[in-house]
Amino acid sequence: AEGSTEHEYMVASESGALNALGFELLGDVPPGHLLLLRRGKEPRMHNCFASAAAPLAHAPCVFEYVYFARPDSVIDGISVYRTRLRMGEKLAHLINRTWAAHDIDVVIPVPDTARTAALECAHALDIPYREGFMKNRYVGRTFIMPAQGLRKKSVRQKLSPIASEFAGRNVLLVDDSIVRGTTSSQIINMAREAGAKRVYMASAAPPVRYPNVYGIDMPTSAELLASRYSDEQMDEMAREIGADRIFYQELDDLRASILEEAAAQGSSIRGLDCS
C-alpha cells in the first residue's frame, strides 16, 4: 500500500488477472499445497502431503489450455497462447495428412477462444484467415449454460456473421472444442445463411465422449455429440451438425502441443490429465 513498507499479495486462478492489476507473477501454488499469507510475515507454502510415501505427479487439466484460460495467461510456466498456436499448427497438419486435395478457401475462427489456433492453422495451410463473426460480449459462454433452449437462443444473440467473408466460399470454421454440438450446428447454419458454399468444421480438441469428473460442468455422455459416434463415423457426425466435413485434433497432438511448449519454456510439467 502507498506509504507502507509492506508488500501486497494477490492470489488468482490465472496470471492474466495479476497483470491487469499491476502485480508480478511469482509462481504457482502446486496441487496439495496451501499458501499462507500472514500480515508482517513472508508468504509460506505448506505441503499437505509431505508425509506421502511418494511425490504426487502434477498433471494439469488439458481443458485449461484448450478453453478455460485466457490466452495471455501463464499456467505452470506454460504460455496458454503458445500452446494454442501449436494446436492450430497440428490441426493443419492433420487436415493436410487426411485431405491433401482440400478445397478450403478461407479459415474463420469461432470467437473468442479459437482465434489463436485458427490463425496458426490458416498460416500452416497457407490459406487466408478472416474474422467472420462479430461477438456480442454481453452474452456468456454457451458451453456452460444449463438449458438447451437457452444455449440455442444465446448463440444467435452472441454471434453475428460478416456475410462478405462467407459468400461463395468454402469455409473452414475452427472452434476450440465441440461438446454437445448445439453451438456448432447453429454456427454452421449461420455460415450457410451468410452465403458459404461448403462449411467444414475443425476442433482444436479431440472428441469429447465422457463427462469430466473433476468439477467441470459437462453434460452426461448421452448429451455429448462424439459419444454417439466412433472415429469411423465422422461423416455421420458431420451430417448431424450440418457440416460438409469434420476434423478433430488427435489426443496425442493435443498433449504434444502443451508438453512441447512446456519443454521449450523450461516448465517441469511432464504429464496431463485428459479425462
pLDDT (tens digit per residue) in 227-265? 999 999 999 999 999 999 999 999 999 999 999 999 999
Residue 84 neighbours by CB distance under 10 Å: 28
Residues of the chain with pLDDT under 50: 1, 3, 144-145
Q: Provide the pLDDT for residue 32.
A: 86
Q: Provide the pLDDT for residue 141.
A: 53
Q: Provide the pLDDT for residue 144.
A: 47
175, β-bridge pairs:
203
Q: Provide the pLDDT for residue 228.
A: 94
pTM of this structure: 0.88
Q: Provide the pLDDT for residue 233.
A: 96
Distance CA 74, CA 182 (A): 30
Q: Provide the pLDDT for residue 58.
A: 86
Q: Provide the pLDDT for residue 143.
A: 52
Which is it for strands 33-36 and 44-47: parallel, antiparallel or unpaired?
antiparallel
